[in-house]
Chains A and B, each alone.
Chain A
Amino acid sequence: MRYIDHHAHMASRTTDDYANMALTGCVALTEPAFWAGWDRSTADGFEDYFRQLVEFEPKRAAAAGLQHYAWLGMNPKESDNRELSAAVLERLPALLEQPTVLGVGEIGLNRVTKNEIATYTEQVALAATHGHMVLIHTPHLEDKLKGTRITIDVLREFPSLPPGRVLVDHAEEHTIEAILDGGYWAGLTLYPQTKVSASRAVDMIERYGPERILVAGACDWGPSEPLAVPKFIAEMRRRRHAEALIHRVVFENPVRFLGQSPKFRLPAGVAEAASLQAG
Chain B
Amino acid sequence: MSSSKPQPSPLSPTELVDEYFIENRNRIIEVAAFLDRLDRADDQVASNDYRVAALNKAIAILGSGTSSRVQDIQILLSDPTTEPLPALDRKGAVGAWDRAKGGR
Contact = CB atoms under 8 A, between A and B. Distances in A.
Interface of A: 77, 80, 110-117, 139-146, 149-150, 172-174, 200, 202-203, 205-211, 238-241, 244-245, 248
Contacts of A211: 3-4
Interface of A is mostly: helix
A254 B84 CA distance: 32
B89 A208 contact: no
Nearest to A253: B3
A150 B19 contact: no
B13 interface: no
Contact of A141 (B19, B71, B77, B84): B77
Contact of A174 (B4, B10, B71): B71
Contacts of B97: 142
B102 interface: no
Query: Chain B, interface size: which category?
Result: 35 or more
Interface of B: 1-11, 19, 70-71, 74-75, 77-82, 84-97, 103
B91 A113 contact: no
B90 A111 contact: yes
A143 B80 CA distance: 9
B88 A210 contact: no
A241 B10 contact: yes
Contacts of A208: 4, 6
A40 to B, nearest CB: 14
A245 B1 CA distance: 8
| 9 closest Cβ pairs, A-B complex | A141-B93, A211-B3, A174-B74, A145-B78, A239-B9, A240-B10, A140-B93, A80-B88, A211-B4
Contacts of B81: 146
B3 to A, nearest CB: 4
Contacts of B93: 111, 139-144
A146 B83 CA distance: 9
A209 B7 contact: yes
A211 B3 CA distance: 5
